[in-house]
A and B are shown apart, each in its own frame.
Chain A
Amino acid sequence: MKGGVGKSTLTAQLAYEFAILTKWAKKVLVIDLDPQFNVSQYLLGPRRYENDIINVNAPTTWHIFEQHTRTPGQPIPPALDPVSVIYHAVQYTGGSLVDLVPSRLELAFSLRNTSQKEDLLKKFVSAIEPRYDVILIDCPPTESLFTTAAYLTSDYLLVPVKPEYLSAIGLPLLSNSLDEFRSHNNGHAPEVAGIVFNFASDYAPEEIRSKGEVTAVARRFGWYLFENEVPYSRSIAKSAREGQPLRLTSYSRATQVNKLTNVVTELAGRVGI
């Protein structure tokens, strides 16, 4: 419910950690549900995105939501092959991998007409779910068709919060959003796996104050607050530019990498990975 808290960066880092580290070595699928396509940018980089997605008009999340859209005078479009939307971002020696359902700017056009589109993502995931151990969905910050589709599809929500005033305000918005979803879905909603502090440095007084506030809000809503935090690191920004996991980014520090791994381990414990 807030932009700039590091959702896409954290999604990419989680995917890499689950795939690379031998204690998991998982087959991971990342679904980019944000028209700003930041996680696609991270995982593919400009060359691969342009050559393999844009130039060949490869299927993306837009195709999932618009698969039944008809153009006047044109025949009914053929059914979307779910596998055709999956792009192999990285494959590791041991068989673990990170696949991606990329996004593109035009995904925003799906918001012009949202009727009967909410469950299309869930149907898509049901078809490809057996191929993966972990599926991560990177949501856009504002509540929309895409957040509803993600709620319908997901078992858990991970909520990254940047320890600062405006980010913390996103939490009550999330609570409202989940309540509303529940009221439309017979009381069902994904479980909040927890709130994790992202870009934390434990330094500025404002940050410490915000953490206190977030802790109080989490307690009020009954949400778990992660014991481990993703630290602020200049290498995280660089890892996106290099298109690499933090642990393989040039000059990244082992202490920062270990802190990130601790967050991933805690998450894995919370959701049973």
Chain B
Amino acid sequence: MTDNEEYALMADLAKLLKKYGPERFELLATMISSPDFINKFSAVLRTSARVYRTRANPTRVSLVAEILRLRESDSKKYELLISFENKLRTGRILPTLKRMKSFAVTNGLTEIHAKSRSSAIQQLIRSMLSLSADQLEKVVSRAVESSDSSGGLNEWSEIITKKMSRSRT
């Protein structure tokens, strides 16, 4: 350890000393010097790792596995799904839960019953897994179009004026 790192550690220890008090520090020093400390410490680490593993959502894990399998079997579908999920998660398309539910319904996908946008994304992606690459491409482009298009007056006025000038010629 360099001098600088030692000073940084001392500064951190000073902060912790202030936070927990000198008595706890003395207790900790006694614990660390005990011979079976390492065993107890590694047991604590193992328990927390197990807790973390059980908290991971098994549905999400299997969904990821299914998507990853596509990388080998249908790379086009894989790329479409990954890019779609990325756009969903960054909120660039279907930015609200309601719009996601509506999108699923209007595109003949399984209805979404989710209370959060995050679970809705999983449900939406799962229901899109059964589509062929071509169907998927169409559905994805609809989502992108609906998000790009404001449905605003500018777009309609452009269509109408273009159309009228075409029909005059």
Chain A interface residues toward B at CB < 8 A: 20, 41, 45-50, 54, 90-93, 104-106, 240-245, 248-251
Q: Which of B114-169 contact A (CB under 8 A)?
A: 145-146, 148-152, 155-156, 159-160, 162-164, 167
Are the CB atoms of A92 and B108 closer together than 8 Å?
yes
Selected interface stretch from B9-17, B51-59, B74-82, B93-101: B93-101
Are the CB atoms of A46 and B108 closer together than 8 Å?
no
Nearest chain B CB to A19 CB, angstrom units: 10
Are the CB atoms of B108 and A91 closer together than 8 Å?
yes
Nearest chain B CB to A26 CB, angstrom units: 15
Partner of A20, one of B105, B150, B167: B105
- 3 interchain residue pairs of minimum CB distance: A248-B102, A46-B155, A241-B151
B83 near A: Cβ within 8 Å? no
B109 near A: Cβ within 8 Å? yes
B4 near A: Cβ within 8 Å? no
For A49, the chain B residues whose CB sits under 8 A away are 159
A103–B63 alpha-carbon span in the complex (Å):
43
Are the CB atoms of A243 and B151 closer together than 8 Å?
yes
B86 near A: Cβ within 8 Å? no
Given contact pairs A243-B151, A244-B106, A250-B96, A45 touches B146 in the complex (Cβ within 8 A): yes
A241–B149 alpha-carbon span in the complex (Å):
10
B interface residues, how many (CB within 8 angstroms): 27
Partner of B110, one of A54, A93, A104, A244: A93
For B167, the chain A residues whose CB sits under 8 A away are 105-106
Are the CB atoms of B155 and A105 closer together than 8 Å?
no
Give the interface centre of B102, B109, B110, B145 by most chain A CB atoms within 10 Å: B102
For A54, the chain B residues whose CB sits under 8 A away are 159, 162-163
**Chain B residue nearest to A42 in the complex (CB):** B151
For B156, the chain A residues whose CB sits under 8 A away are 41, 46
Ordered by A's residue number, 21 sampled pairs between the chains whose C-beta atoms are within 8 Å are: A41-B156, A45-B145, A45-B146, A45-B151, A46-B159, A49-B159, A50-B159, A54-B162, A91-B107, A92-B105, A92-B108, A93-B111, A104-B163, A105-B164, A105-B167, A106-B167, A241-B150, A242-B102, A243-B146, A244-B106, A249-B98
Other than the given A47-B145, A250-B96, 12 more pairs (CB < 8 A) read: A41-B156, A46-B151, A46-B159, A47-B148, A93-B108, A93-B110, A104-B163, A105-B160, A240-B151, A241-B152, A242-B102, A242-B151
For A106, the chain B residues whose CB sits under 8 A away are 167
Given contact pairs A93-B110, A105-B163, A244 touches B145 in the complex (Cβ within 8 A): no
**Chain B residue nearest to A251 in the complex (CB):** B98
A50–B154 alpha-carbon span in the complex (Å):
13
For B105, the chain A residues whose CB sits under 8 A away are 20, 92-93, 248
Nearest chain B CB to A235 CB, angstrom units: 11
A47–B101 alpha-carbon span in the complex (Å):
21
Given contact pairs A91-B108, A93-B109, A105-B160, A244 touches B102 in the complex (Cβ within 8 A): yes
For B102, the chain A residues whose CB sits under 8 A away are 242, 244-245, 248-249
A92–B106 alpha-carbon span in the complex (Å):
6
For B162, the chain A residues whose CB sits under 8 A away are 54
Given contact pairs A105-B163, A248-B102, A45 touches B149 in the complex (Cβ within 8 A): yes
For B164, the chain A residues whose CB sits under 8 A away are 105
**Chain B residue nearest to A240 in the complex (CB):** B151
Nearest chain B CB to A15 CB, angstrom units: 12
Nearest chain A CB to B145 CB, angstrom units: 5
A240–B150 alpha-carbon span in the complex (Å):
11
For A244, the chain B residues whose CB sits under 8 A away are 102, 106
For B111, the chain A residues whose CB sits under 8 A away are 93
For A248, the chain B residues whose CB sits under 8 A away are 98-99, 101-102, 105-106
